[in-house]
Copies of this chain bind each other. A is one copy, B any other.
Amino acid sequence: MAAILHVCMTCRAGQPVPEGSEPPGRLLHDALTAGPAPEGVIIRPVECLSACDHGCNIAITKPGGWSYVYGRLTLEDVPEILRGAALYAVAPEGIVPWRERPVIFRKQSLARIPPMESPND
């Protein structure tokens, strides 16, 4: 089963959004989906990841993997988000070796959550 990259569509990234403009979260989602998704990754819009103080935000999950939430992302980060998502999709339990991890994933983690099913259950 694929990894899911959740992108908050409603994020204002702490800024006022002028009438008729798209919120930064939607622009980030649109940029992430402008090309083909990485192998093994489904990109899915979501309304609010409840991390509004640190937007734009994404979360990445997969069955049996750790879930991660990253914040303070901009359009410039799109290539590295996609690269990191592809690495996550193939990494055991979603744990990408530290050195291979995009810098935004190393430095802009908001939280991680253990896998739903633990091997020790």
**Which residues of A line the B interface, CB within 8 A?**
4, 6, 44, 46, 48-51, 57, 59, 61, 63, 67-69, 109-114, 116, 118
Contacts and interface: CB of A to CB of B under 8 A. Distances in A.
A49 B113 CA distance: 6
B61 A116 contact: yes
Given A46-B114, A49-B111, A113-B113, 16 more contacts: A4-B116, A6-B113, A44-B114, A44-B118, A48-B112, A49-B112, A50-B68, A50-B110, A51-B110, A51-B111, A51-B112, A59-B114, A61-B114, A69-B111, A110-B110, A111-B111
A65 to B, nearest CB: 10
Nearest to A51: B111
**Residue of A46, A48, A68, A114 with highest tally of chain B CB at under 10 A:** A114
